[in-house]
Every structure is written in structure tokens, then in C-alpha cells.
Amino acid sequence: MIDFRYHLVSLIAVFLALGIGIVVGATAIDRAVVGRQDGELERLETVAASATVQRDEALAEISADDEFFDKGARFIVEKRLSGQNVTVVTAAGVDPARAEEMVQVLRLGGATVPAVIELTQKFALSEQTSRDQLALFVGAPQDADVATIRKYATANLAVKLGNAKLPPDDEGLVAADVQANLLGRLADDGFITVIGQDTQQGLDPNTLGGPGTLAVVVGGSDMSAGLLNDVFLPLTLQMGSGGRTLAVAAASDNPVFMTTIRSDAEVTATMSSVDNIDTRVGRLVAVIALQQELNGVYEQLGTGPLSQSLLPQRAS
């Protein structure tokens, strides 16, 4: 007969052996796991170090490209617009940075750009007071309807800002006494905002525009539909008839502004456009396009709908 104590000792020995086996096995597994983790960590550290080197090299290359582009830009556009006065026109809802970037590159090209004229939402003429004021400023009959008042306004602004050539039937809409004080009156009553550091020096809005000036009209996506369709587009199209106005926009903008202009063969015969001024290339091209207008050359440039090419084909 087997002694109970022998049985107990045997059972204890078995369980002790199992415990030791588990501990030893777990230790071996842990060491294997830790070893694999250490190896993976070393691999990741190597990859991260390589990626850091590649990033630093890429940043250095980008920095060199930026420096080359910034310095090269001056050689591309320098003196192209020397002696030219340029008026920049935009509207509420257009990113102000677009107009400011255009001002900078136009000045880089040698142009004098005193300020930016921004049409405000007051042109919606939602109140009778606004309708009466604008009718007075643009020489429209006091009992004129909204469409007639806007017609007078766009005709006078197009002649003042863009040297527009109006159809014979519309020539009577423009008067010399209206032109003389138009921009000052519009600014005083909030129809336009005159933006630019030169305004800090007492710039008279009435000195902006006029015969012999060039104009750049900056469109955008966030303009209200009423301001775009009822005022800004008709104004741009009329300004284009003078042969000294360039229409520009960003590639990301709603294409309505640019496609409306480019769809009119009569307009594109006397007005160039650039649809990618959100890029440095686009802004430099805009300067060249404006210079080419002085030579009677008109092209639709950029990457958007109805563009002819990215770069001017006949740049001098």
C-alpha cells in the first residue's frame, strides 16, 4: 500500500515542476518578445533617422528654390511696368491677400499702385437711401430703377478705372463733372473702400484711375451672387473694352467670374486674364500679360477653363 505522505510529496513535486516550467517558459518567451521589440525599435530608429536626413535635405532644397525664385522673380518682371500707374479693383468677399499679393508683384515690376479699390455690399442697393445716393453720385435720374442706377454706375466706373470704350448709346451715361468726384463720393458713403498704405498719407481717391492708367480686376469665390452678377462682372466686362484692364483670379476660385469673361469673344479681343494668381508663377505671368496689353496683345492664361496656355506665348 502506498503511503499517503508519499502521494502528497509526489503531487507537490509535480505541481512544483509545473510551476518551475511555467516560470522558465514564460521567462524564455518574455526574452524572445523583448528581443524582437528591441530589434524593431532599433529598425524604427534607423528609419526615423533616415527620414530626418531626407526631410532636412528636402527643406534645404525648397529653401534654395524659394531663394532662387524670389531673386529670379525680380529679373523676370523688373521694369516691365516702369512708369505705369495701375489701379487694382476688387470686391467684398474676395480674399484681401489676393489683391495685396498682386500689388506687391506689380510694384516689383516697376508700376505705381497707390491703393486698392474694393466695391462693398452697399452696391446691392437694398435700401432706398442707398439708391438715392448712388443715383446722385453717378448722374442717374432720381426716379430711376435699380437696374438703371447700376447701369450709370458701372459705365462711369468703367470709364474712370478702365478707360472703357462705351457703345454710342451709352456714352450719354458718363459726364465729366460726375467723373471728377466719383471715387471720393463713393468712398465717403461706403460704396467703395480704398485700401492701401498710401491712404495713410492723405490719398485723394479722385486721383485714382483716369486716362492712361492700367487696371487689374481681382475676382474671387466668396463674393455674393448679387454683387458678382449685378455689378462686378458687368463692370469688369466694360472695363475690358478699353484694352488696358487685366482680369485675374485664383485657381481655387469659383470659375463663374473667369469663364464669363473668357466666353465673350468681343471681350477677350481687348482684355487678358490670368486664372492662377494664387501661385507665384501666376502672379509673375500677370505682370507680363499686363505689359503685353500695352502692345495690343491679349491672352487668356493659366490652368482653368478656357485658358489658352500657362505662360504667355508672345512675351517680349
Phi-psi group of 82: left, alpha or beta (phi > 0 → left; psi -120 to 50 → alpha; rest → beta): beta
pLDDT digits (tens, 9 = 90+) for 5-30: 666 667 676 666 666 666 666 565 56
Average pLDDT, the chain: 87
* Residues of the chain below pLDDT 50: none
Instruction: Give the position of cell 492662377.
Output: 276
Look at residues 307, 301, 275 and name the one whose alpha carbon lies nearest to residue 288. Answer: 301
Cell of 290: 499686363
pLDDT value of position 48: 73
Give the domain ranges of the chain: 1-77, 80-301
CA distance 203 to 213: 17
Q: Please list, in sequence order, all residues whose beta carbon lies within 8 angstroms of the beta carbon of residue 286, skipping any fewer than 6 positions away.
A: 102, 105, 216, 246, 248, 274, 277
DSSP character string of 209-250:
S-TT-EEEEE--SSS-HHHIIIIIHHHHHHHHTTS-EEEE--
Q: Are 165 and 269 in contact (CB under 8 A)?
A: no
What does the DSSP 8-state code read for residue 112?
A: B
pLDDT value of position 55: 74
Q: Are 116 and 194 in contact (CB under 8 A)?
A: yes
pLDDT digits (tens, 9 = 90+) for 32-49: 666 777 777 778 778 777
Q: Are 88 and 102 in contact (CB under 8 A)?
A: yes
Q: What is the phi/psi pair of residue 273, to 5°?
A: -145, 150
Instruction: Give the position of cell 502672379.
Output: 283
Sign of CA dihedral 14, 15, 17, 18: positive
Cell of 251: 485657381
Residue type, 40: E
Give the Cβ contact number of residue 61 at 10 Å: 10
